[in-house]
Amino acid sequence: MAGSPEAAAQGRDAPAGAAPRGGKRAAPGEAGALQPAKLSRAELYKPPTSEELSQLKETEDLFHSSLLRLQIEELLKEVTLKDTKKKKIDAFLHEINSLLGAIPETPETELTDQAWLPKGVQVPFLQVPFSVKGKFRFVPPTELKVVGSYLLGTCIKPEINVDVAVTMPREIFQDKDNLNQRYHRKRALYLAHIAQQFSKEKLFGSVKFAYMNSNHLKPILLLRPQGKDEKMVTVRLHACPAPGLFKPSRFYPSKNNVRTAWFMEQSTPKEGAPEPPTPHYNNSILCDTVLLSHLHFLSSAATDFPGMKDGLALLKVWLNQRQLSKGLGCFSGFLVSMLVAYLLMKRKIVKMMSGYQVLRSTLQFLATTDLSVTGITLAKDVDASLPVLDDFHQAFEVVFVDPSGLVNLCADMTASKYHQVQFEAKRSMEILDDQMVDGFQVLLMTAKPMLRAFDHVFHLKHASKLQGACKKMQLLNELMDRGGNYVATALPFVVSLLARGLAGRVLLVAHSLPQIPEWSIDAEPPKHKDVGPLTFGLLFVPEFAASTLEKGPQADHPEALDFRTFWGEKSELRRFQDGSICEAVVWEADTICQKRLIPEQIVRHLLKLHADIPESSICYNGALLESVIRTGQKESGTGEEAMVSVVCSYDDLSRKLWNLKGLPLTVTAVQGVHPALRYTDVFPPIPMKPIYSFHTRIRTKHLLLPSEEKPCPAYIAPLKIICHMEGSGQWPQDKEAIKRIKAAFHLQLAELLQQQHQLVCRPAVTHTDVYKDGYVFRLQVAYHREPLILREVVTPEGMLKYQDTEESRQLELETLHLPYLTSSLHGLQQQHPVFGSTCRLAKRWVCAQLLSDNISEECVDLLVAFLFLHPAPFTPPSSPQVGFLRFLDLLATFDWKNNPLIVNLNAGLTEADCTEIKNKFVAARSRLPVMFIATPKDRWSSMWTQERPSVQILQRLLVLASESLRALEMQLMDPQNSQDVKMVFRPPLDFYDVLIHLNPNQIPRHLESVDQPLKSFSRGVVKNSTAVKILFPVVDYDPVQCYLQELRDAFSDLALFFYDKHGGEVIAVLWKPLSFQPQPFKVSSMKGRMVTTLNNELVCVPNVEAILEDFKVLGEGLVKSVEAHTEKWTI
């Protein structure tokens, strides 16, 4: 049977870990290890049932992988309610029902006479204006019905809300209760009386008021059970009118039910002025009349449709992660249930579908349908008297009509919010169809807070300023319709104003949903301004976001007037190159970082001009963090321009190298490897010329040296360039000989550059330094076969074999891998203009945490590249700040232990490659570096993270990243905050054992520190890029780095040293705990130790006092003081 297909099948499907038949069985149960199930032969070959077959087929057709199916099933288990909970909730509801029937009646009083209400409760309604006609008395409710998701089984954890409709009896209403908020006030009084009675009951842990979806006209009562079950459930009581109380025709969107004279508190109405329609007001009353019919409608859709329940749970999780499901005008769970029912009615969904198919179909519909242009309705039979969709479109921004044909379910939603939902749905469909992305993780498990989803975020600090905006925009009728809620009134107008002003620059202008928290029953109801600050998010079109010109219509066109009114005094006539004379707006911005903030100028200008919102009320977070990568004066940019000039100078030098005459072999390639040449150097080099008086000269060699009396000269970084020479039979095959030949090339390059291009050069054995345009370039000659020759090893038997040596690896890294990485990232910068600045912020943060020596620059560059190449569920960052926040999030949340980070540079990896990398990674995990980054040219070795970071350093990085992210997001989301955002760039130092304080005048990069020093020293250079005939400046001289190297050489077995190379004034030292354990006395291992006796034995322990003394002696002139923090080393 060995060769039969059955045997092959059996071998293929044997569960992992099961021994093949006939072999020895695995030893029974190691604790915790999963054991394969023992199946009899008959069971093994049992044909699959039809259910299993259909499941397999479905998995194959619908899901990318069986993994996605399992993940979704697991998530549904997590969020659905357990039966034991349901029993408790049902019991709680029964008790509420019996309590409601027992509430006493009250005598009839005028609506405005509320003295009968006891002291402990306030009416949960803003009664403005206060005087209103009508009478009120309390009569216990006629019935109580559970409505909403609880009965349908579609409510999901963490927040279980059960909606209960309490029907107010007919006898408490009068004829004209539909007018002037009378119905709403009766409803509020009704709830207030129930609340007051319930607050005395032992059954409830808390009794509170809230606004339904933060709508001021709709207070509801929240009841939670007593004791430890309080968190389990919230019962929401909705008061609704007796059926048939109101004639529906009174509430059509074009009808008026709030009289202007009453709202404005005028004694007599104006003659002949028509009353404006009040669609939102009408809608809010109609909603209460259809609660039960909606429940019946949904439950008929959900019968025999298990996929609907699962699909809704997934859709609700999707909405929650995007912050779309709470607040005024949200896309609530109820709304999404109605949408699924609509798709079922239209046969876009059928009852056979699984939850995942329901999710996909709904997202597909949202992505392709714009309800703000073409509304949809659930009303089946068209009754000629009912309002048509066009009537709804005139009254509301987004239209989705319920089965009765009367209620717009999206009445409070702004068009902007719907467009955000639509944008998210489009993006989600792309992600689900992309085989390379783990759709489940990205769509359902990743939160999208505004700060990380939008490129720029700004806050309107005081919502009360929107009152002025309503006046300025003449929105009195809308204000009346919204019951005086100026936030809800002005918001759609403000957003559409911004959308018009930023058209072409942004894909999306989004706003946060106004939210009002619940309040206790004895407190005043919250005012409109209590929504707190409103937040707006802008998502840029990277090509146009920073353009300085807004070109308008030609001066003689009729639209020109409209353009002028819109932009105000900023608009002016300009003549363009094609001879046309047009209206135009030009924004002032010199540097790239100022251009990125042009949207801020537009936002401030338009809000001031059209909505009377003063600049002081707008807190704009677009570039607050960029100050840490800015050196020198405030007005200069963030170094993008400097970076471009370095690259230009380098391009010119490489052309000159290509065309050098007189070299024995031609140059085949010139490749930059310095970070500045891929736009990711934290502080780009600045052209410099030395001041001779600050240096001592060595006349004979035309050289300068640092002078002892003066501060240390400014740091000049050599920009490394690899110069590949062509291969030839003349190259020797011996490694020492190759080094000599390379040295000869270095001398000759220097000579020829000096002769043919008058460049000042300084040759050395391993490189040649060239001074050009104020920069110093370091040329290093490379020969492509040298790494191979370095690998040669002769065995004792005289055989030649090849094996990796440290030297060959290092050389390959420098001459092959680093140039490739640099050119790939240079290309990425061309596609995404903020890539470089994001890298620089990320590296500045790593340096500020004193960890730059423990993680390579290339590694950070690749982490940032990952954010741009694999941004799902976001779009690629278009501002450095959002890129940096996502970098911190990636560091803190990525599962480094179980996953490789695959950075698909130049799209060099296919889906199969990625799977292979993941599988090999899992198989070899224990031998691989703790942080594993794979790229197309480096799939298995993760060369940039091979040596560092260590496990402990990575752990420290993760902690710092998640803390920094938390602190930063709090600061950026709180506009009243006056704290400095640089806080996350100032690390806590109390964690270290010893601090070595340095003398600032010997720190060459002192000006680069996070907090600019108050006084700086002249560093012996002037900024100058034209000098030609000069003495060669001092290159790559940083006394602190030399000192650190000496410390590490001498004490690396006892301590770790940390330093911020960008102007840090402190070296932090951490003792290694193992080196403080007493060692047996040996003469050979006495370095830095002293002898002492422990239990009558001679042992040696570190001599801390002497070591601290050594720190001082080694760094004489550089070290200001040594401060020992802790007594950890006492034994």
d(CA 1017, CA 713): 10
d(CA 905, CA 934): 10
Hey, what are 994's tokens? 């010893």
Q: What is the pLDDT of residues 1057-1103, one digit of tens each?
A: 999 999 899 999 998 888 777 777 776 666 777 777 777 778 887 88
User: Quick one: CA torsion of 574, 580, 584, 588, rounded to 10 degrees?
Assistant: -60
Burial 246-282 (b: 16+ CB within 10 A, else e): bebeebbbebbbbebebbeeeeeeeeeeeeebbbbbb
Give residue 995's pLDDT.
94
The stretch 713-734 carries a mean pLDDT of 91
Higher-pLDDT residue of 912, 79 = 912
Q: Is 484 exposed, middle or buried, given 0-12, 13-18 or 19+ CB atoms closer than 10 A?
A: buried
Q: 102-111, 623-632, 801-810, 964-973: lowest mean pLDDT where?
A: 623-632
Amino acid at 123: V
Asked if 355 contacts 274 with a C-beta cutoff of 8 angstroms, the reply is no
Task: Establish whether the linkage from the previous residue to 129 is cis, with ω within 30° of 0.
Answer: yes
d(CA 416, CA 502): 13
Give residue 91's pLDDT.
87
Return the percentage of the chain with pLDDT > 70, whole number.
92
Report residue 154's pLDDT band, with 50, 70 and 90 as the boundaries: confident
Give residue 86's pLDDT.
86
DSSP conformation class of 406: S
Asked if 357 contacts 311 with a C-beta cutoff of 8 angstroms, the reply is yes
In this predicted structure, the answer to whether residue 700 has a pLDDT above a threshold of 70 is no
Asked if 107 contacts 116 with a C-beta cutoff of 8 angstroms, the reply is yes
Integer Rg of the chain from CA? 37
Report residue 66's pLDDT band, with 50, 70 and 90 as the boundaries: low
Helices (H) and strands (E) in the chain, counts: 35, 37
Q: What is the pLDDT of residues 516-556, one digit of tens each?
A: 889 998 888 998 888 888 999 999 998 888 889 988 898 88
> What are the residues whose beta carbons fall under 8 Å from the beta carbon of 471, sequence distance 6 or more?
612
Q: What is the pLDDT of residues 917-967, one digit of tens each?
A: 999 999 999 999 999 999 999 999 899 999 889 999 999 999 999 999 999
Three-state DSSP state, 509: strand
d(CA 810, CA 800): 22
In this predicted structure, the answer to whether residue 702 has a pLDDT above a threshold of 80 is no
Give residue 1020's pLDDT.
63
Hey, what are 747's tokens? 């001398």
340-346 contact pairs (CB < 8 A, 24+):
340/301, 340/308, 340/311, 340/312, 340/315, 341/297, 341/298, 341/301, 341/378, 342/376, 342/378, 342/400, 344/301, 344/305, 344/308, 345/301, 345/378, 345/380
**Alpha-helical runs (H) found in 1000-1082:** 1039-1051
Q: What's the number of CA atoms in the CB half-sphere (13 Å) around residue 145?
A: 19
DSSP string, 95-108: HHHHHHHTPPP---
Closest CA to 538 of 512, 559, 560: 512
Asked if 221 contacts 195 with a C-beta cutoff of 8 angstroms, the reply is yes
Q: Is 511 exposed, middle or buried, given 0-12, 13-18 or 19+ CB atoms closer than 10 A?
A: buried
Tokens 């840090």 correspond to what residue? 1064
d(CA 542, CA 599): 12
Give residue 230's pLDDT.
76
Return the percentage of the chain with pLDDT > 90, whole number.
48
SS (H, E, C) 6-53: HHHHHHHHCCCCCCCCCCCCCCCCCCCCCCCCCCCHHHHCCCCCHHHH
Closest CA to 934 of 954, 917, 915, 922: 917
Angle at 896 between CA 879 and CA 907, to 5 degrees: 55
> What are the residues whose beta carbons fall under 8 Å from the beta carbon of 485, sequence distance 6 or more?
216, 479, 528
d(CA 731, CA 738): 7
DSSP conformation class of 780: E
Closest CA to 1066 of 805, 849, 796: 849
The stretch 850-863 carries a mean pLDDT of 95
Q: What is the pLDDT of residues 551-579, one digit of tens each?
A: 889 888 889 999 999 999 999 999 998 88
Instruction: Please count the other Cβ atoms lying within 10 Å of the Cβ belonging to residue 602.
Output: 21
DSSP conformation class of 408: B
Q: At what angle do helices 355-368 and 306-321 cross, to 10 degrees?
A: 50
Burial 303-321 (b: 16+ CB within 10 A, else e): eebebbbbbbbbbbbbbbb
Three-state DSSP state, 754: helix
CA distances (Å), 967 to each of 238, 624, 970, 973, 983, in order?
Answer: 39, 14, 5, 10, 8
Strand pairing report for 695-698 and 1055-1059: unpaired
d(CA 604, CA 817): 47
- pTM value? 0.90
Q: What is the pLDDT of residues 979-998, one digit of tens each?
A: 688 899 998 898 899 999 99
Report residue 19's pLDDT band, with 50, 70 and 90 as the boundaries: very low
In this predicted structure, the answer to whether residue 3 has a pLDDT above a threshold of 70 is no
d(CA 750, CA 778): 11
Torsions phi, psi for 119 (to 5 deg): -60, -35
Q: Please name every residue paired with 572 in a beta bridge, in sequence order, or none if there are none.
A: 584
Closest CA to 944 of 953, 934, 956: 934
Report residue 699's pLDDT band, with 50, 70 and 90 as the boundaries: low
The stretch 326-342 carries a mean pLDDT of 92
**Would you mind telling me the total number of residues written for the chain in this entry?**
1131
Q: Which helix (H) or strand (E) holds 597?
A: none
d(CA 247, CA 178): 10
Amino acid at 435: Q
Give residue 126's pLDDT.
86
In this predicted structure, the answer to whether residue 27 has a pLDDT above a threshold of 50 is no
Give residue 1045's pLDDT.
95
DSSP conformation class of 626: G
Quote the strand ranges of 664-717, DSSP E.
Answer: 667-672, 688-690, 695-698, 703-706
d(CA 862, CA 885): 16
Hey, what are 787's tokens? 């790494």
In this predicted structure, the answer to whether residue 781 has a pLDDT above a threshold of 90 is yes
Give residue 1027's pLDDT.
61
d(CA 455, CA 507): 11
